[in-house]
Amino acid sequence: MTNRSYLTCGVAAVVMMLGSTAVAAPVKVGMITTLSGGGAGLGIDTRDGFMLALKQAGDAASEVEVLIEDDQQKPDVAVQIADKMIQSDQVDLLTGIVWSNLAMAVVPAAVAQGKFYLSTNAAPSALAGSGCDPKYFSVSYQNDNMHETAGAYAKKAGIGKVFIMAPNYPAGQDSLTGFKRFYDEGEITDEVYTQVGQTDYAAEIAQIRNSGADAVFFFLPGGMGIAFMKQYAESGVDIPLIGPAFSFSQDILPAAGDAALGVMNGANWSKDLDNEANATFVEGFQAEYDRLPSLYAAQGYDTANLLLSAMSKADITDADAFRAALAEADFDSVRGKFSFGPNQHPIQDFYIREVVKEGDVLTNKIVEPVLTDHADAYAGECSM
Amino acid sequence: MPVLLVAEQALNGLQYGMMLFLMAAGLTLVFGVMGLINLAHGSLYMVGAFACATVAASTGWFWLGLLASLAAAAAAGAIIEVLVIRRLYARDHLDQVLATFALILVFSEGTRWVFGSFPLYLNLPPALSGAVTLPGGLQYPLFRLVIIAVGAAVAVGLWLLISRTRLGIRIRAGEADREMIAALGIDIARLYTVVFALGAALAGLAGALVGSIQSVQVGMGEPVLILAFVVVVIGGIGSIKGALIGAMLVGMTDTLGKALLPGFFAQFMDVSSANTIGASLASMLIYILMAVVLIVRPQGLFGARV
Amino acid sequence: MGQAFTRETWINLLIFTVLVAVAVFAHLSGQGFTVTLATKAAIFALAGVGLNLALGYGGMISFGHAAFFGIGGYACGILASHAANGTPIFAFLAGSNNMLVIWPIAMIASGLAALVIGALSQRTSGVYFIMVTLAFAQMIFYFAISWPRYGGEDGLSFYVRNNFPVMNTFAPIQYFAICATLLALALIATAVITQSRYGLALQAVRQNSQRSKAVGIRPYAVLLTAFVLSGMITGLAGALYADLNRFVSPTMLSWHMSGEIMVFVILGGVGRLCGPVAGAGIYILLEHVLGGVSEYWQALLGLMLLVIVLFAPGGLIGLLSGRKRHA
Per-residue model confidence as pLDDT tens digits over B72-108? 999 999 999 999 999 998 888 888 998 999 999 999 9
Mean pLDDT of B9-18: 95
pLDDT of residue C313: 57
For the ranges B195-209, B286-300, C140-154, C254-268, the maximum mean pLDDT occurs at B195-209
On chain C, the residues whose CB falls within 8 A of the CB of B290 are: 132, 135
| Helix or strand holding residue A66 (H, E) | strand A64-70
Interface of A with C in 141-200 (CB under 8 A): 168-170, 195-197
Cα end-to-end distance, chain A, whole Å? 38
pTM of the model: 0.87
Per-residue model confidence as pLDDT tens digits over A324-370? 999 999 999 999 999 999 999 999 999 999 999 998 899 999 999 99
pLDDT of residue A19: 36
- Is pLDDT above 70 for C294? no
pLDDT of residue B278: 81
Indicate yes or no: CB of B15 within 8 angstroms of CB of A199: no
Chain A within 8 Å of B275 (Cβ-Cβ)? yes
Amino acid identity of residue C176, one-letter, is F
- Percent of chain B exceeding pLDDT 90 equals 55
Residue ranges of alpha helices (H) inside chain C are 6-28, 32-52, 66-85, 99-121, 126-146, 172-195, 197-207, 209-214, 219-245, 255-268, 275-293, 297-311, 314-317
- Judge contact between B287 and B254, C-beta under 8 A: no
- Judge contact between A94 and A316, C-beta under 8 A: no
Pick the closest to residue A45 from A272, A222, A306 (CA basis). Answer: A222
Indicate yes or no: CB of C305 within 8 angstroms of CB of B102: yes
Chain C within 8 Å of A2 (Cβ-Cβ)? yes
Residue ranges of chain A with pLDDT lower than 70?
1-24
Give the neighbours of chain B: at least 3 Cβ pairs within 8 Å.
Answer: A, C
Give every CB contact of residue C20 below 8 A, 6+ residues apart in sequence.
C180
- Percent of chain B exceeding pLDDT 70 equals 98
How many residues in total does chain B contain?
Answer: 306
pLDDT of residue C161: 86
Distance CA A90, CA A70 (A): 18
On chain A, the residues whose CB falls within 8 A of the CB of C157 are: 79, 104-105, 108-109
pLDDT of residue A24: 59
Indicate yes or no: CB of C295 within 8 angstroms of CB of A3: yes
- Judge contact between A32 and A94, C-beta under 8 A: yes
pLDDT of residue A182: 95
Q: What is the mean pLDDT of chain B?
A: 90
Mean pLDDT of C210-216: 83
pLDDT of residue C288: 78
Pick the closest to residue C178 from C232, C103, C128 (CA basis). Answer: C103
- Is pLDDT above 50 for C1? no
Backbone CA torsion sign across C216, C218, C222, C225: negative
Task: Name which of B90, B109, B294 is nearest C324 (Cβ-Cβ).
Answer: B90
> What are the start-end ranges of the E strands in B20-130?
none
Residue in chain B closest to C266 (alpha carbons) equals B98
pLDDT of residue C326: 27
- Judge contact between C109 and C235, C-beta under 8 A: yes
- Judge contact between C242 and C74, C-beta under 8 A: yes
Mean pLDDT of B134-154: 93
Distance CA A300, CA B79 (A): 45
| Antiparallel, parallel or unpaired: β A264-267 and A339-340 | unpaired
Three-class DSSP category at A94 = strand
On chain A, the residues whose CB falls within 8 A of the CB of B121 are: 226, 230, 255, 257
Least confident of A306-310, A333-337, B302-306, C269-273: B302-306
pLDDT of residue C6: 61
pLDDT of residue A327: 96
- Is pLDDT above 50 for C184? yes
- Is pLDDT above 90 for B144? yes
CB neighbours of residue B266 within 10 Å:
16
From residue A202, alpha-carbon distances to A227, B10, B148, B213 in Å are 10, 11, 14, 10
Half-sphere exposure of C112 (CA within 13 A, CB side): 8
Q: pLDDT: is B184 or C285 the higher one?
A: C285
